[in-house]
Amino acid sequence: MMSDNIFDFGMIGLGVMGRNFLLNMADNGFSVIGFDKDAAKNTALEGSATPGTTVKGVSELSQMIGLLKRPRNVMMLVPAGQPVDDVIASLLPLLEKGDVIIDGGNSHYTDTLRRVKYLHEKEIHFMGIGVSGGEEGARRGPSIMPGGDLAAYENVRPMLEAVAAKVDGTPCVAYLGKEGAGHYVKMVHNGIEYAIMQLISESYAILKAAGLSNQQLHETFKTWNEGKLKSFLVEITADIFLQKDDKTDAHLVDVISDKAGSKGTGKWTSQDSMELPVAVPVIDTAVAMRTLSGYKDERIKAAALYSTTAADAVPTQELIDKVYDGLYFATILSYAQGLAMLFQASKDLQMDIPLPEVVSVWRGGCIIRASLLPVFVNAYKQNPELSNILLNQEVAELVKSAEGNTRALIAHAAQAGIPAAGLMSSLAYFDAYRSERMPTNLIQAQRDYFGAHTYQRIDIPGTFHTEWGQQ
């Protein structure tokens, strides 16, 4: 017979992420309870618990709330949007002042801000936390990006630290700022994720066009994953090339439709970057290319209308080396843009996002974990107020070491007619960013010419207007 108030942590939504997160917590010694209306999910939760751990699934929310220790810690992993508000509405009559509600889904940070305020009035703590790492991460150690109420964070901190991925013994979780900061950081994480995935797909296109087989692609990515490109996304890409289709004799990757899906977090990153504004063109490009992938019918017509160009042959190993450096260069640029966005957003939206902690949390568990992250940790150690990691000396050396091959690679892709918008956009951003003087003086002149929008001069302070074309 179970006594009341015995569970440390409750979860609403026992899809695979919710279930795995709870099982992970139970393996770390916490007593956990989950709620899902679907009784089969409760059975699945209890059935997959490690023997000796305390795990219970119930199909009545009030039953779960009644069995939690106080103050209660309740997390939800449900789809973003209305379902989160519905869960909050169903929880409110059951909770008491001081209880903690955690939204671990990919909610938009403005929704989180609204919910923080709403629940604050009711003296309920609300935290938006980003959880990255997919199903396996949730089970074995995700990267966790909490933001919001600091007192509430301290309540759940031991549990989050226990379940999080560890790098050199340090848990990949830290308080990442006020109010909507956790979800903001996760949104930008996903923007960077979109960018790197786009860059990897372009690298694949270039190598495939050069005739590399899936086996050779596998070996190439596997080798890359042992060097400076070591990362989760490169690692799984190497695996993907080996996977055989279970319905035909083909490799699975070759029979997958090229229309890419998306759930919106990449788009949100781009949208919000423009609001700030901060330039994140590699992320914008990645979002646009997923959209363009959906124009299948038009692309078929355009493919027939516009023939491809023949490129000069490049020896295979030479090309692989160029792609290696190009992908490395553009990956650094993707992080640089995402982190610059966080730097600006932290100030403009008063979220106090600690960038040294963000890159530290991203070292393990999350989709964008990579051997580059410790380099960024060092950069922020030297200067926590770094507005762009490209201004760090060590990062600059890495970028410069890959710059020549990146230019050669992009020239090759352009000549061969291989779409490489992400790679190109990273180089274009780099060239603009390192320009002491951009050609935007001409834009200012044009604005003033047709619209009397005024301009500033380089030699005399003040604002000027000219009656253009009158001499």
Q: Which residues bind ligand 6PG (CB under 6 A)?
A: 106, 132-134, 190, 193, 261-263, 265-266, 366-367
Of 186, 228, 267, 322, catalytic: 186
What are the C-alpha distances in Å from 98 to residues 65, 179, 359? 14, 17, 31
Q: CB of residue 220 vs ligand 6PG: minimum separation in angstroms?
A: 24
Q: What share of the chain is helix, strand, coil (3-state, %, to 5)?
A: 55, 10, 35
Indicate the residue among 273 and 406 with the shorter CB distance to ligand 6PG: 273
Q: How far apart are CA 251 and CA 240, in angstroms?
A: 9
The side-by-side arrangement of strands in the sheet containing 143-148 is 55-58, 32-35, 9-12, 73-76, 100-103, 125-132, 143-148
Q: How far apart are CA 126 and CA 105, in angstroms?
A: 13
DSSP string covering 12-41, please? E--SHHHHHHHHHHHHTT--EEEE-S-HHH
The answer to whether 263 is a known catalytic residue is no
Q: CB of residue 325 vs ligand 6PG: minimum separation in angstroms?
A: 26
Indicate the residue among 83 and 134 with the shorter CB distance to ligand 6PG: 134
Q: CB of residue 399 vs ligand 6PG: minimum separation in angstroms?
A: 25
Q: CB of residue 186 vs ligand 6PG: minimum separation in angstroms?
A: 7
**Which residue, 172, 196, 183, 187, is CA-closest to 336?**
196
Indicate the residue among 187 and 390 with the shorter CB distance to ligand 6PG: 187
The answer to whether 301 is a known catalytic residue is no
* 355 within 8 A of 177, measured Cβ to Cβ: no
Which residues are within 8 A (CB) of 31 and not within 5 positions of it... i.e. 6 or more apart?
6, 7, 8, 9, 54, 55
Indicate the residue among 105 and 356 with the shorter CB distance to ligand 6PG: 105
Of 41, 179, 193, 235, catalytic: 193
User: Hunting for tokens 């604005």 — which residue is that?
Assistant: 447
Indicate the residue among 108 and 125 with the shorter CB distance to ligand 6PG: 108
Amino acid of residue 122: K
Catalytic residues: 186, 193
